[in-house]
Chain A
Amino acid sequence: MWRTEGPCRGRGARGSDVPRAGRRGVRVLELTQREERGWTVVTVKGRLDSATVERFTTQCVTLIDAGSANVVLDLSGLQYVSSAGLSSILGAAKRVQGRNGRLAVAGLTGLVKEIFSISGFETVLPTFPDVETAITTS
């Protein structure tokens, strides 16, 4: 057993002791962005959780406020998403919709797909098997 002293501080608490990348894959967030046929494709790999969500949120706010009206999130490499990540994706979707744009999600697999389903996100957000389908179908 271990004890943390103070909210989100101390040994073992995520905020101060983020594990390094291990054998099972990255335990951090990798973000890349590109423009493709009028869409801004944001590739999200690794973990989208309370420790990494701020960077994702900042990137989405920046690109949406810069004028990106069609955004697709490539989540095929996303291994883990918590409610913090879901809330940020929801915020991005509402932000782009507020500017008469659209946000789609592509590449949901495994546990991430299940989490999207449980939270109802598969019905409130346009979801596609891959980026190509998202771009050509939307």
Chain B
Amino acid sequence: MVGLAGRTGAIAEQVSRLELAVEEWVVNLCRHAYPGGEGPIDVAVLEGRDNLTVEIADYGPPFDPTASPEPDVNAPLAEREPGGLGLLLMRRMTDEVRYRRDGPRNVVTLRVAYRQS
């Protein structure tokens, strides 16, 4: 994805959005996918004619990020807690988030469509 950062304009912004979504999910996996241990994370990047897709797979316990509730972004400062923002941003920065369980793997697919500037 860093290699795609050389693009300009509307495509560059979409790549930045997808990069953020990928970071949010990968960091989440680093923290939670393998409690007390280590494990692999598989990442695949696919560029279509008018979209960019990243597929991220882990071998941890089943977890569907599309089913998680979002934090209350209207709560006042004193009631705001730091958690939950990662999944919120992952959803809002992309055009599509899909989850499937594939045998022993959780597979999360993130996609952004290229916009015309």
Residues of A within 8 A of B (CB): 1-9, 12-15, 19, 22-24, 49-50, 80, 82-84, 86-87, 90-91, 93-94, 97, 111, 115, 118-120, 123-125
Contacts and interface: CB of A to CB of B under 8 A. Distances in A.
A6 B74 contact: no
A82 B89 contact: yes
A94 B76 CA distance: 11
Contacts of A124: 75-77, 80
Contacts, number: 99
Nearest to B46: A1
A94 B27 contact: no
A85 to B, nearest CB: 10
A94 B16 CA distance: 29
Interface string B8-19: 000011001101
Question: Contact residue range for chain B?
Answer: 35 or more
B6 A120 contact: no
Nearest to B74: A120
Interface in B1-58: 2, 5-6, 12-13, 16-17, 19-20, 23-24, 26-27, 29-31, 33-34, 38-45
29 contacts: A1-B42, A2-B42, A2-B43, A3-B43, A4-B41, A4-B43, A5-B38, A5-B40, A8-B27, A8-B30, A13-B26, A14-B23, A50-B27, A80-B20, A82-B20, A82-B24, A82-B89, A83-B86, A84-B27, A87-B82, A93-B77, A111-B16, A111-B17, A115-B20, A118-B88, A119-B88, A120-B80, A124-B76, A124-B77
B29 A91 contact: no
A5 B3 CA distance: 22
Given A3-B42, A6-B38, A111-B13, A94 B6 contact: no
A11 B89 CA distance: 25
Closest 4 CB pairs of A and B: A120-B73, A87-B82, A6-B38, A83-B85
Contact of A1 (B13, B34, B43, B74): B43
Nearest to B90: A83
B85 A86 contact: yes
A17 B12 CA distance: 21
A9 B85 CA distance: 23
B80 to A, nearest CB: 6
A31 B83 CA distance: 25
